[in-house]
Amino acid sequence: MKKIVQDDHSTVVKFLKLLDDHLKLQNIPFDTSSLDISVGSTPSVFSHEKLDIPNNVELHPGNYVFYDRQQQYTGVCESEDSIASLVLSRVIGHYPDHDRNAIMIDAGATALTKETTPQGDMASVYGRPELQCYRMSQEITMIRCRDGSPFPFDDFPLGSTLLLLPNHSCLAAACFEEYHVVDEVAGQLSISSKIVDKWKPVKDWK
């Protein structure tokens, strides 16, 4: 990661030098040191050192505020308990037949998007690694046991709710007009966690 950060910094410095030389050749009086420079990514956020240029430097760590399944896979965050962006969904169907052996929930691509991750699945069920979100349409997702064993339907009665971990939190967050901030009790997140605040994101291109 240090090598990627060093290459990133080196590219920025070279670009500023080329831009400065070009402006001087064109006799354009512009001080490039007045530019604000944005660098970085979520995986590299802890690997940056001072960028030795006279500019204001902004670290741009993407979804560092939330994390997601992608960042967990790459090792940026240690476990799903580090992921702060979850989607609440409701069980709307039981399918105990041999071919499906699954449940249906009311969150699909319009709540999670269809972005994939290297570890597979459309999303994951918080606290239940043995379950697989294996198929998704616009409005629904199907969940089954990863190893093909009988689904624990009693754990997920019709109308009950569950928490989903999105593959990419930035895209999932863009699907919603409001975020509910919850208070974890003794470090335990659940569907009954108390809502302590509501955030409205800045949206649209304006």
Strand-pair partners of 182: 195
Q: Give the residue extent of every domain in the chain.
A: 2-59, 69-199
Q: How confident is the model at residue 186 (pLDDT cuts 50, 70, 90)?
A: low
The architecture in CATH of the region 69-199 reads Beta Barrel (2.40)
First-to-last alpha carbon distance for the chain, in angstroms, is: 35
User: Concatenated DSSP letters for 40-89?
Assistant: --STTTTS-----SSSEEEE--TTTTT--HHHHHTTSSSSGGG----EEE
What's the confidence (pLDDT) of residue 187?
A: 63
* H/E segment holding residue 176: none
Contact 32, 20 (CB under 8 A): yes
pLDDT in tens, 74-100: 888 889 989 999 999 999 999 999 999
**By percentage, how much of the chain surpasses pLDDT 90?**
63
The C-alpha atoms of residue 41 and residue 171 are separated, in whole angstroms, by 16
